Amino acid sequence: MSERLLSPAVLAAIGRLDLVARTVVEGFLIGLHKSPYHGLSQEFAEHRPYIAGDEMRRIDWRVYARTDRLYVKESEEETNAPVRLLLDASASLQFTPRDVSKLDYARYLAAALAYLATRQGDRVGLVSFNEEVQTLIPARGGERHLQLILVALEQLEARGRTSIGPVLLRQAAQWKRRGLAILVSDLYDRPQEIVDAVTRVRRARHDVIVFHLLDRAEMFLEKRGTYEFRDLETNETLLADADRVRREYTERVEELRSFFRHEFERTGADYAVLDSHDPLDKALAVYLRRRRAGKAKGKK
Amino acid sequence: MSFLSPLTLIGLSLVALPLLIHLLVRRRARRLDFPSLAFLRETPSFKLYPRRIRQPLLLALRAAALILLILGLARPFLTSNAQRNPQVRFLLLDASLSMRTHGRAEAAREQARAIINKLRDGERASLISFSSTAAVLVEASSDRGKLLEAVERYEPGGGAADYNAALAEVRARRTIEPPGVSDVDIISDFQTAGIEKRLGPHDAALRLRAYPVGQSVERNAYLINESVSKSANGIELSATEMVSESAGRGAAVRAWTMDANEGSGPALEWRTESNGQITARAGVLEPDEFDADDERFFAFHAPRETRVLLIEDGKDASLYLRAALEVAGDEGAARGALDRQRELPERAEDLAQYSLVVLTLHGTPKTNEVAALTEYAREGGTVWMCLGGDLDTESWNLLARDEAGRGLPFESVSRSSGKALSFGSADAGAPQMRALDESAMNTLRAVQVTAGYAIAPRAYGLTLARWNDENPALVSLRVGEGEILAIGTSVERASNDLGSSPVFPLLASAIVRASNITREPISRSIGEAVRLDTKPETNVKITNMAGRVVEPKARELASRPMDYFNVPGIYRLEFAGNQKFLAFNPPAEESERALLSEESLNRLLSSEKPTQGWTASEGNRLDATEREGFVWRYFLGAAFLLLIAELFVATRRRTLAQQEGE
C-alpha cells in the first residue's frame, strides 16, 4: 500500500470511518515489511507465509483476500492491555486549512488505532473532551465494541475550549489497570499543566503517547498577507501581517515543540508531532513501538 | 516647466486617494479562523498591526499614474531658463524710408543698444523691424550679444511706417508667452503724415514707450501723381514735384517727352526693355535735405495710339458699328483712326497697331482667329465681340472649354428662349459704362432685343451689364495686358434695334476710350501686392537694380511683397517664359518732413482699445503654446503605461493569491 492511499485526503474520500480504519491498518500492515518501520513486523510475527503441510484452517483468509497471498496465523494471544484514546474535541480542531480538518484527522487516527488495537486483541476505550469530557467509552475488546467506538468518533464535534491537564488527571484517577493512554490533541492549553498531568499519569505506571496534532499551516503560518485572525476557541480576533510575524511565530511554535519533546522524554512518554497532511502510518508505528515496549515490560 | 492650467494641479491632492484605498483595504483584511492566537500574541505587538503598506509597488504605480495624469491635464510646457522670466520686452525699430534720412538709422541703432544694455539679467527681448510689414530680427532672447548683433542687421528700406503692423506682430508673439503686460519700445522718427491711421489704439496688455529719433528736415522735394500718355511727339511722362518746407508746401508739374527707345533728359533716364516695357528713373530738380526719395522709378508699356479696326463682314451690323465708331471718332477719341477690313488678320502682329478690334462672331469659330485675338489682347489690345444671330453656340461653347479658347470671355453662351429681351442693370463704375448716365441707360433699356444670348462669364471675368432677366449681357475678361469684351447680341437689324438707338454711339465711344487706358500702374508703392496672372507655384526670378537675384514662388510674392520689393527701384521679373518690369516707390507720406510733437505722441501712445477680456487672449495663448509643445502628451502617455503596469501587477498578484489559496 502506498503512502498516498494512507494520506488524509484520500481517507476523507472513503467516508465511512470503519472502512477508513480498516484501509489504514491493513494497508499499514501489508506495507510494513517494505516500510521504514520494518522492525515492527515482529508485532505481527503470528503471521507467516503459508507452506505446504500447514493446516488449512490456520490460513488467514482476510489477509489472502487483500494480498492474494496465503498467510498462516501463528497465534492470537490476547493481552487484555487496555488502550485508552483521549481525543481533544475543542473548537481549535475545527481548523481546516485544506480538505481535512484537524478533527477529521484526529478521528481517522483514533479509528485506526482502535482498529489496530482491537485486531491485536487489546481492549480499547475512548474519551473525547474539551473542557469537560464529552464522550466516555470504557476500554473493552471485541468487534462490536470497536463499532461503538467508531460510531462515537463519527458523531464527534469540535467545540468549546480545552482543558487537557485536569481532564487527563480525572480520567487517570479512574483507571484501575495499567494500560496505554494515547492523547491526541493540538495541546493549546497551559503547557506546564499538560506536562504535569502526563507526568502524574506516568507515575501511575501507565504508558503514554502524546500525538501533538498541528497542521503545517499553523506551524509555519503559511498564509501571506494581512489577516484578521480569529481564535477558534475564544473568538478573539487579532489583525496581523503574517509576513511580518512569521519568523518569530514559527520560533515560538518550535520552542513549544522542543519543550514538550524534552519534558515528555524526561517523563518517559512518547511524543510525536503529527501534521494533518502526514499519512497515518507514522502514528501507527509510534503506537506499535510503544506497545512492544509495554509488552516487554510486562514480560519482565 | 510651466503649466497652462495650473489650477488643475489642485487635483494632486487626489494622490492621497490610492493611499486611502490601501488603508481601507487593509482595514477590511480577510478573516482567517485560526486554532489559537497564543503564539501570535507572543510576537512583538508592533508587528501585528500591518503598518507597512501592503503591495507598495501597486501603490507607487497608482500614485505615479495619478500624478502624471494630473500633471498632463494641467498642460505642462517646457521653458528655457530665460523663458521663466515671465515677460518679453519688444523693441520695434522703424525701417521705413524716412529712417534713411541722414543720421536717423544710426540714432535708432544707438537707442536700441542702450535699451539692450540696460536689460536685467535674464530679461528677454525681441527685436522687430517694421515698415509696411513687420519682420522679426531676433526672437525673444536674453543673450545680449545676439540682440546687439541683430541691431547691426537693422537697415531701413522703402516702405511706410505701419506701427499697427508691428504691434500685430507683437501680439502674435505674445500668444506663446505667459499672460501679463509687455513693454514695447518703439524707436522711430514718428512722422506726422498718416500716423493717426498707422498707430491706432492698442491693447492694455502692451505698455508702449516711444523713443523718437531724428530731427525734422528743413526742406524735402519729391515726386507724386505721375502719369503717362502718347502724343504725336512720343510718349509723355509727367509728375508733380512737391517741395515741403517749414514755410509750407509748393508743387510744380514736370513733364518729359520720351521720343526714342532710350535716352535721358533733365532729371530723367529711360530705356525700352526687351519685352517692350519702358523703364524710367526721374529725379527732383529742387535741392533738399533728404536724398532717399529724390528719385522715382517707372516701368510701363507704352500706351497705344487710339486706333480702331472694324472687321466688316458685309452684313448690316457693320454699317451700324462703323457709324457708331465714326461718331466716336468725331468726339475726338478716335479721330482719323478707324480702319476697316473684310477679314481678320491671322497674325497678332498685324493687329498690334490698334487699340481696339471690333468684330461680330458668326457661325462656327476659327481657332486661328481666336488665337490671334487672344495674343493681341495679351499684348495690351482690346477686343470687342458682338454675338451674331447665326452663332453656332455649341461649337463656340466647345472652344470656350478648350485651351485654345481660354481667351474667350465666356464659359458658354446660350440663345435666349424666344421672348424679347432688353438691357437691365449695368456696372456704372466700369470704364466702358461710365459714359452712360441714367438717361442714356434708360434709352439703352428701351432697346428691344429679339436675338440675344445669355452669357456665362469666366470665373475671373467681369459682368458689365445684364439683361432684364438678370443674365449677363456684356462681359469682359482681362487677358494679359489687354481685355476682351463680348456683348450678348449683335447690331444686326434682325437681332435688335440697338444699331439705330441714339445711345449706341455713346456705348461705342466709351469702349473706344476705355481701350486706351493704361491698365498697369506705371509705378507701385512698396508693400503693394503683386499679381502676375500665373500659377501660385511658378518660380519667379527677381533681379533688382543692384543685380541681386532671388527666386521665390509667385504665391510668396503675392503674400509677402515686402520681402522682395523692399527698397525703391526697378525690378526685373522672369517667370513661366515671360519677362516683366515693376517699379516700386515709397509711399508719399514717407517724404513728409514733419515729425510728431511730444504731446501728440504721448496722446497717441496712451490710447488703449477696449480689452477683449482675459479669456479670449488666454485661450489664444493656450492654443498657441500647445501648438509649440506636446509635453502634456508625454505625461498622459506615461500615465497610461503606468496604469497598464499596475493592471499587470495587480492581475499577477491576484493569480498568485488564488494559486496560494488552492
Whole-number pLDDT of residue A4: 44
Chain A: residues touching B (Cβ < 8 Å): 92-95, 102, 186, 188, 215, 218, 223-234, 236-241, 244-245, 248-249, 252-253, 256
Closest to B81 in 3D by CA, of B46, B45, B124, B115? B124
Q: Which residue has the higher pLDDT, A7 or B172?
A: B172
Least confident of A117-121, A234-238, B306-310, B518-522: B518-522
Specify whether the CB–CB gap between B518 and B550 falls below 8 A. no
Phi and psi torsions of B314, nearest 5°: 85, -5
- Mind telling me how many Å the CA of B47 is from chain A's nearest CA? 6
Cβ <8 Å between B40 and A233 = no
Q: C-alpha distances in angstroms, B363 versus B212, B321, B393, B407, B409? A: 71, 19, 8, 18, 18
Whole-number pLDDT of residue B177: 77
Whole-number pLDDT of residue A64: 80
Chain A CB contacts of B42 under 8 Å are: 248, 252
* CA dist., res. B650 & res. B25, Å (int): 14
Contacts 24+ apart (CB under 8 A), B553-562: B557/B530, B557/B532, B558/B529, B558/B530, B558/B531, B558/B532, B559/B529, B560/B133, B561/B526, B561/B527, B561/B528, B561/B529, B561/B530, B562/B131, B562/B132, B562/B133, B562/B135, B562/B157, B562/B159, B562/B526, B562/B527
* CA dist., res. B256 & res. B34, Å (int): 120
CB contacts < 8 A, A to B, total 98
Q: DSSP per residue over A193-215, as a string?
A: HHHHHHHHHHHTT-EEEEEEE--
Cβ <8 Å between B31 and A225 = no
- Mind telling me how many Å the CA of A130 is from chain B's nearest CA? 14
Cell readout for B12 is 494632486
Whole-number pLDDT of residue A77: 46
Chain A CB contacts of B47 under 8 Å are: 240-241, 244-245, 248
Q: DSSP per residue over B305-321, as a string?
A: P--EEEE--SSHHHHHH
* CA dist., res. B15 & res. B639, Å (int): 13
* CA dist., res. B237 & res. B597, Å (int): 38
CA atoms within 13 A on the CB side of B303: 22
Whole-number pLDDT of residue A182: 93
Contacts of B109 (CB under 8 A, 6+ apart): B151, B152, B154
User: In what helix (H) or strand (E) does residue B569 lie, and over which residues does it extend?
Assistant: strand B569-575
Whole-number pLDDT of residue B382: 93
Strand bridging mode A207-213 / A180-185: parallel
Whole-number pLDDT of residue A47: 66
pTM assigned to the model:
0.47
Specify whether the CB–CB gap between B471 and B424 falls below 8 A. no
Whole-number pLDDT of residue A278: 81
Sheet holding A226-231, edge to edge: A237-241, A226-231, B30-34
In chain B, which residue's Cα lies nearest the Cα of A226? B29
Q: Best mutation site among A187, A244, A256 for testing chain B: the one with the most B CBs within 10 Å?
A: A244
Cell readout for B555 is 504665391
Cβ <8 Å between B39 and A225 = no
pLDDT one-digit tens code per residue, A35-49? 554 444 445 545 667
Cβ <8 Å between B54 and A225 = yes
Cβ <8 Å between A227 and B36 = no
* CA dist., res. B502 & res. B516, Å (int): 23
Would an 8 Å CB–CB cutoff place B48 in contact with chain A? yes
Would an 8 Å CB–CB cutoff place B24 in contact with chain A? no
Specify whether the CB–CB gap between B454 and B471 falls below 8 A. yes
* CA dist., res. B169 & res. B161, Å (int): 14
What are the per-10-residue average pLDDT scores of chain B (662 residues)? 74 78 68 88 70 71 86 72 65 92 91 91 90 90 92 91 89 80 89 79 80 87 85 84 86 88 88 90 89 91 84 84 79 64 89 91 92 90 93 94 92 86 88 83 90 91 92 91 92 88 88 77 85 84 92 87 89 90 89 83 68 40 50 82 86 77 54
pLDDT one-digit tens code per residue, A172-227? 999 888 888 999 999 999 999 999 999 999 999 898 999 999 998 899 988 888 88
Whole-number pLDDT of residue A300: 45
Would an 8 Å CB–CB cutoff place B661 in contact with chain A? no
User: In what helix (H) or strand (E) does residue A102 lie, and over which residues does it extend?
Assistant: helix A102-119
Would an 8 Å CB–CB cutoff place B660 in contact with chain A? yes
* CA dist., res. B338 & res. B76, Å (int): 77
Whole-number pLDDT of residue B487: 95
Cell readout for B92 is 520695434
- Mind telling me how many Å the CA of A202 is from chain B's nearest CA? 28
Closest to B319 in 3D by CA, of B353, B366, B360? B360
pLDDT > 70 fraction of chain A, expressed in percent and rounded: 84
- Mind telling me how many Å the CA of B15 is from chain A's nearest CA? 24
Cβ <8 Å between B30 and A227 = yes
Strand bridging mode B308-311 / B338-341: parallel
Contacts of B640 (CB under 8 A, 6+ apart): none
Whole-number pLDDT of residue B331: 55
Contacts of A16 (CB under 8 A, 6+ apart): none
CA atoms within 13 A on the CB side of B203: 22
* CA dist., res. A107 & res. A113, Å (int): 10
Specify whether the CB–CB gap between A41 and A139 falls below 8 A. no
* CA dist., res. A126 & res. B240, Å (int): 140
Whole-number pLDDT of residue A5: 45
Q: Report the 3 state secondary structure along B378-439.
A: HCCCEEEEEEEEEECHHHHHHHHHCHHHCCCCEEEEEECCCCCECEEEECCCCCCCCCCCHH
Cell numbers 462703323: residue: B322
Cell numbers 456683348: residue: B487
Burial class (CB in 10 A: 0-12, 13-18, 19+), A158: buried
Amino acid letter for position A287: Y
Cβ <8 Å between A186 and B36 = yes
Contacts of A266 (CB under 8 A, 6+ apart): none
Out of B31, B36, B40, the one facing A92 most closely (by C-beta) is B36
Q: C-alpha distances in angstroms, B381 versus B164, B299, B350? A: 41, 18, 12
Whole-number pLDDT of residue B317: 83
In chain A, which residue's Cα lies nearest the Cα of B37? A231
Specify whether the CB–CB gap between B498 and B504 falls below 8 A. yes
Contacts of B132 (CB under 8 A, 6+ apart): B96, B159, B160, B162, B165, B526, B527, B562, B587
Cβ <8 Å between A248 and B43 = yes
* CA dist., res. B95 & res. B422, Å (int): 57
CA atoms within 13 A on the CB side of B53: 11
Whole-number pLDDT of residue B488: 94
Q: Which residue has the higher pLDDT, A73 or B546?
A: B546
Whole-number pLDDT of residue A46: 56
Mean pLDDT estimate for chain B = 84
Closest to B378 in 3D by CA, of B348, B358, B399? B348
Cβ <8 Å between A226 and B29 = yes
Whole-number pLDDT of residue A195: 94
Other beta carbons within 10 angstroms of residue A57's beta carbon come to 8
Chain B CB contacts of A130 under 8 Å are: none
